[in-house]
Amino acid sequence: MKLKNYLNESSDKPVIPFIVGPTASGKTDMAIELAQELNTEIISADSMQIYKYMDIGTAKPTKEEQQRAKHHLIDFVEPDQNYSVANYYKDAITLINKFLEQNKTPVICGGTGLYINALSLPYSFSNNTNPEIRKELEKKSLTEEGKKQLYQELLQVDPQSAEKIHPNNIKRVIRALEIYKSTGSPKSELDKKGRKQELSYTPVLLTPDLTRETIYNRINLRVDKMINQGLIDEVRALDNRYDRNLISLQAIGYKEFFNYFDNKQTLEETIRILKRDTRHFAKRQLTWFRKDPRIIPVNY
């Protein structure tokens, strides 16, 4: 059965297919095939393939794959550049609208759940990071006492968000406070506003229908393949050039090698840990997508 037959949705809006799922599940292949059937292009929804110079470890589509279908929103951000879901949302919506204007519908493909939600649910993001406020809050969060105070503060200014965030989840507490302090309105209010907006298209979500065991096997094989393709050199080059603490270098497939470079770990052990971390990641992705009833498993 052709993939495009899954898109028979009665809707007065254009139907945009989303290919989602855990890492190593074959999303790229599926998206390319669908893009060819529809004679269109692909917009990636992957928070790590956006970075330049990180090709092997993020399993970015190869040159050859990119020739079969053009990919957008990959390979365009410097590893030391700030980029977040708010940026992604803006970039992706701009692109989608361009396609729609030409009566084309792109294929969205990626495993970053938040990015998928940002485009497939009526979310909105108000680009409002404030590095100074954040730094101040982060400084305060270094002590146990400070953490408690920050959470208390959030309970005061934005009880709805505070209720949803566990007190130990300091990163989220800080972010919610940062939003309140830089915009003057609580995060929960902004979230509600976002919900009122409507999408100008109908998303149809597809995922490759594989068992976890199959996914785990594919992960183990793919890691070995990445090593053969020169992953170690790729990571070493980045390590020589950039700060290890960058978000980009905290990606799976990169951070695992630092101990090996420091001679604290054998290569064999590093590979074992890399496979393990990738499996964990896939598990979290499965958890994320499992609760979304819209997703249709495709035997492909």
3-state DSSP call for residue 97?
A: helix
Q: Which amino acid is at 87?
A: N
CA distance 71 to 79: 19
225 binds RNA (CB under 7 A): no
Of 212, 225, 241, 264, the one binding RNA by CB under 7 A: 212
Q: Contacts with RNA in 11-70 (CB under 7 A)?
A: 23, 46-49, 57-59
Q: Does residue 296 contact residue 206 with C-beta atoms inside 8 Å?
A: yes
Distances (CA, A) of 107 to 45, 165, 289: 10, 33, 18
140 binds RNA (CB under 7 A): no
122 binds RNA (CB under 7 A): yes
138 binds RNA (CB under 7 A): yes
* Residue 197 CB, nearest approach to RNA (Å): 9
* Residue 103 CB, nearest approach to RNA (Å): 29
All residues at 6 or more sequence positions from 225 whose CB lies less than 8 Å from its CB, including other chains = none
* Residue 69 CB, nearest approach to RNA (Å): 18
* Residue 9 CB, nearest approach to RNA (Å): 23
* Residue 123 CB, nearest approach to RNA (Å): 4
84 binds RNA (CB under 7 A): yes
Q: Contacts with RNA in 239-298 (CB under 7 A)?
A: 247, 250-253, 276-277, 279-281, 283-288, 290-291
Query: Which sign does the torsion angle of CA 165, 195, 35, 65 carry?
Result: negative
- In 3D space, the residue among 108, 281, 289 whose CA is nearest the CA of residue 202 turns out to be 108
Q: What is the DSSP string of 246-296?
A: STGGGSTTTGGGHHHHTTSS-HHHHHHHHHHHHHHHHHHHHHHHHT-TTPE
217 binds RNA (CB under 7 A): no
Of 52, 134, 147, 272, the one binding RNA by CB under 7 A: 134
CA distance 207 to 9: 17
Chain positions contacting RNA, by CB under 7 A? 23, 46-49, 57-59, 83-86, 111-115, 117-118, 121-129, 134, 138, 164, 166, 168-172, 174-176, 178-179, 187, 190-192, 194-195, 212, 247, 250-253, 276-277, 279-281, 283-288, 290-291
